[in-house]
Structure 1
């Protein structure tokens, strides 16, 4: 047998076995799987400080777990003797692999081949992979770089005609989303079809300074709108990681892969399985003394909600961080709302709450969108939600009205009300107005709910409510000093009925608990939250 299978010529075997065709296959695979250091596309990829497509797959998946599908898809070139001279692979590498031992399917763009356009490979390859993920009921991971198989005008010349655009397999993406987790890493300029794929999924992460997202790139934009923009100015992370198009931001490609691995660790492989339970070394009976004082007695003061979360959830079980099991999703957008996955006694749960350091915690249009998306995600994959309520109400003012806050807020309210996954509600401080009611009472009167002694609720916050209810009396005072005096008298009168104990006396809140008991109570019945032990 020749020492170099890539130089095997036709007709050199005796026809008694399939050794020669197998060697021909292996020769092509070896050429495809080794980078061509002289290829302009590969040189450009490295010049831009980007990993090659197969380096990405190796970094993402468990060691040696990748099993390729379509390994010799592409265009081989042979000389007149039948020797393999070169091989231009398809610009999509697909196959099965494992993430933390669980099977997944990966579709990865190779930007070094025609920038990922459809005329650089076989257009059906990536959609076929998404169909396999759906049929095998395994998570789908997309590594996006370029147009992800979208077209370019150069294809018109190859075909000899133009064509009516199709969805190019996006229907398969939507089918997959209904059954398995679908995640995307944006690893370069993500344009057109790839941009749509990034938005059609359960989780997406882009790399700061390396990736951008847009419906059309700068040259097309300049022609259409006369805007002369760089890729970063048009669709960098500061745009799309703050408007909610992309969930998270990574500092590097490897960081993006770590975030994807962490995200998937909390979810089942499909809707037909239960979320994965792990063994935790953190006692479910742990009582954190810091919880008794984390909410300030002065109601206008702020506190760090993420510190509070870390004190309640498991200390371990997060592959991305050793700080706690809390893995935040969407930290850079809709910032009045804090959402993410965590573990309680080893069981994955969703965490939903507000950040009082951002506009006082009032929920705005983006916060509403974030809430609806996250609650729908947890409900779809069967993750219970620990709902820590400190909600002063919907954002108000002219900007809030122009941003259609109440319309987006209605979607968040509907997502909470329609969720069938267990929601354990803990009112830790405020619950005011329609938004406060939606969060504090998502099941419309029949949910699992407790409150801390710091609870403060009503149709309106007292200060603003008194201004509205007693406007005539306040305006009739003779001086600012008299007005302030009357205001203080009214506040003192209402303070007597403000205590959450008064509400509990009338069964307006089911139970008031010691904040230090929040973790033991939340862990008590595992994944089917119940408020009492």
Structure 2
């Protein structure tokens, strides 16, 4: 029986229907492809595109190509926007896309989600955007449990008074998706690159994340732009004077500074390489060619015998952590510093030990003598919270050389002890494993908290250069023996009495005396620091971190949203 005659000729009719159906969908598919073609190719005559080029900025899709692995971008909302058709022919004349491009992609083979502002469309304002497109992307990132990257340029869909005329009314401002941003950072790493003027809603997004980087000479950040500021405060300021990198890289609003857009993308890729894709996974472990047993001779002499002399703490860190080249070459080291331009008395960053990511917390004796000030306290609290949050916790290598809190009128006006309490609270409440090495000083309340962050229950060792107490001897003697020193009679006599007192106390200052009373658990050869920390971190990754899985699952629902209604601590 022929197909045409089967079932009363129905076979031929069905085949014809199939051919007709296939051809009937070609037209809408062709229209879809044409709209995508218009959106994905820059209009060289468009004023917005010309302005981007004039300011030496990459176009939004060039940014995506530069950031992501080749051909890995899978767009979400590819034809979101406003098409314009010829009234007579019905043909597509032009297409104004939404000023936010979103989608999945990969960085070094690892899946991420990107929301990227297109400043060439209405300067990134709300009247050039499509409501909820960017927040939807943040929901997708959280549910997919992949890192979220924001490329900020403009207001990221924030308010514009022109919108009032479009909708015919004013409105009470809402959260504008910021709740979704906070939900996202509770579950996945969130990194932002500031690639132009970042204002209003975009400025809020820049700080609702785990890492942010500005580009020198290209990006600015402010709650409101120069024209609004002039109306409100009568200050006539340029964008750079109001919110340039030199302001926000020093006050802690952003973490790092880049020399170019490409450098910003490199820093984001590096930052993410230390973190898991979400809090439900362990940080990524790599193979390290640097032997875990390496004993670095330079560590034996890096701390000067004269206590008042400074040293390079970043070099010390590089001598301990993994490196893929000469230990003296910063570019070979696995240490990636975060926040190097602000709170500079404290040094924070990520590194690897035996291929395993760790957070690094220490102080810089070249700034404030290492005393922790208000910004250093804020920096410490933020970093410890970050390490405590991700993966089942990012283990923390804590290298202590802390003379205490900064003192004096400037420190008091800056509310140093108030901010210091935040750092103390973050360390005390952290559940992440911490390996503490007292490399030199640990004085006062601040020294006590940093030198014993787990309240007697942590892993702690000291170097022979350890020097600790309720107060540094020099200042403490001045306070304790003030009456005798003042009664010395002459400057020479006072100086001799001070020298005699210092010599008397020197006999009890040795860390060996503390070790005899088990006031410090172990004093180690500085050259053993790397082998010991590598052994510790290997044990932590194999036996400690996996046990935190049950706790994570109990705190978060299946969709990755905090079951308690509380998210990441900013």
What CA distance in whole angstroms lies between the structure 1 residues aligned with 2:104 and 2:540?
A: 35
Query: Relative to structure 1, is the Cα distance of residues 113 and 321 closer, same or farther in structure 2, using a 3 angstrom cutoff?
Result: farther
> Among 450, 455, 466, which residue is 1:455 paired with?
466
Task: Give the unaligned 5+ runs of structure 2.
Answer: 1-18, 542-570
Q: How many residues align?
A: 516
Q: Does 1:406 find its partner at 2:417?
A: yes
- Aligned-partner Cα distance in 1 for 2:55–2:372: 40
* Cα distance change, pair 55–321 in 1 and its aligned pair in 2 (3 A): farther
CA contact (8 A) 1:417 1:443 kept: yes
Gaps of 5+ in 1: 1-12
Residue 273 (str. 1) matches residue 284 (str. 2): no
Aligned to 2:373: 364
Match of residue 450 from structure 2: 439
Q: Does 1:147 align with 2:155?
A: yes
User: 1:299/1:252 Cα in 2 relative to 1: closer, same or farther (>3 Å)?
Assistant: same
Q: Which is greater in Rg?
A: 2
Task: State whether structure 2 residue 261 is matched by structure 1 residue 253.
Answer: yes
Kindly indicate whether the alpha-carbon contact (under 8 Å) linking 2:318 and 2:330 is maintained by their aligned counterparts in 1. Answer: no
Post-superposition CA distance 1:383-423 (Å, at most 9, x none): 00000000000000011001000010001001001100100
Distance across 2 between alignment mates of 1:527 and 1:397: 43
Distance 1:523 1:390, change over 3 A: same
| Residue range with higher mean Cα deviation, 199-208 or 308-317 | 308-317
| Alignment partners' CA distance in 1, 2:538 and 2:380 | 21
Equivalence map 1:293-308=2 (5 Å):
293-308=301-316
Within 5 A, what are the aligned runs for 1:21-420?
21-79=28-86, 80-316=88-324, 322-381=331-390, 382-420=393-431
Q: 1:527 to 1:166 in 2, by over 3 A?
A: farther
Q: 1:77 to 1:14 in 2, by over 3 A?
A: farther
SS in 2 for 1:525: helix
CA shift digits 1:463-500 (9 cap, x unpaired): 00000000000001111100010100000000000000
TM-score, length basis structure 2: 0.89
SS at match of 1:360: helix
Whole-Å separation in 1 of the counterparts to 2:394 and 2:538? 8
Q: 1:503 aligns with which of 514, 523, 526?
A: 514
CA offset digits 1:179-224 (Å, max 9, x no partner): 0001100000000000000010000000011000000000000000
In structure 1, what is the Cα distance between the partners aligned to 2:20 and 2:285?
57
Deviation at 1:102, TM superposition (A): 1.0
Q: How far off its partner does 1:447 sit?
A: 1.1
Separation in structure 2 between the aligned mates of residue 131 and residue 523 of structure 1, nearest angstrom: 37
CA contact (8 A) 1:91 1:120 kept: yes
Q: Distance in 1 between matches of 2:254 and 2:188?
A: 19
For residues 164 and 446 of structure 2, what CA distance do their matches in structure 1 show?
A: 53
| In structure 1, C-alpha distance between the alignment counterparts of 2:448 and 2:373, rounded to whole Å | 15
Verify the 8 A CA contact 1:422 1:528 in the aligned structure 2.
no
Whether the aligned pair in 2 keeps the contact of 1:393 and 1:435 (CA below 8 Å) is yes
Any idea what SS the aligned residue of 2:29 has?
A: helix
> Is the 1:292–1:516 Cα contact (8 Å) retained in structure 2?
yes
Q: RMSD of the alignment, in Å?
A: 1.3
Give the structure 2 partner of residue 10 of structure 1.
none
Runs of 4+ in 1 over 3 A off after TM superposition: 13-17, 527-530
Q: What is residue 6 of structure 1 aligned with on the other side? A: none
SS at match of 2:475: helix
Deviations 1:277-323 (A, max 9, x none): 00000000001100000000000000000000000000039xx9732
Alignment check: 8 A CA contact 1:424 1:529 kept: no
Contact 1:349 1:527 in 2 (8 A): no
1:3 counterpart residue number: none
Q: Which secondary structure does the structure 1 equivalent of 2:214 belong to?
A: strand
Shift of 1:258: 0.1
* CA drift at 1:527: 4.6
Deviates more, 1:437-446 or 1:450-459: 437-446
CA–CA distance in structure 2, aligned partners of residues 477 and 78 of structure 1: 95
Q: Distance in 1 between matches of 2:131 and 2:49?
A: 21
1:89-138 CA-to-partner distances (Å, cap 9, x unmatched) read: 00000000011111110000000000101110202100000000011011
Q: Partners in 2 of 1:304 and 1:82 — Cα distance?
A: 70
Determine the C-alpha separation between the residues in 2 that align with 1:291 and 1:42.
Answer: 54
Contact 2:395 2:537 in 1 (8 A): no
CA drift at 1:21: 1.0
The residue matched to 1:338 in structure 2 has which SS? strand
1:286–1:519 contact (8 Å) kept in structure 2: yes
| Equivalent pair of 1:384/1:527 in contact (CA under 8 Å) | no
Secondary structure at the counterpart of residue 164 of structure 1: coil
Q: Deviations for 1:483-524, whole angstroms, at most 9, x for unmatched residues? A: 010100000000000000000000000000000000000001
Higher relative contact order (CA 8 A, sep 6+): 2
8 Å CA contact 2:152–2:193 kept in 1: the answer is yes
Cα-to-partner distance string for 1:327-384 (whole Å, 9 max, x where unaligned) = 0000000000000000000000000000000010000000000000000000001100
How many angstroms does 1:250 deviate by?
0.2
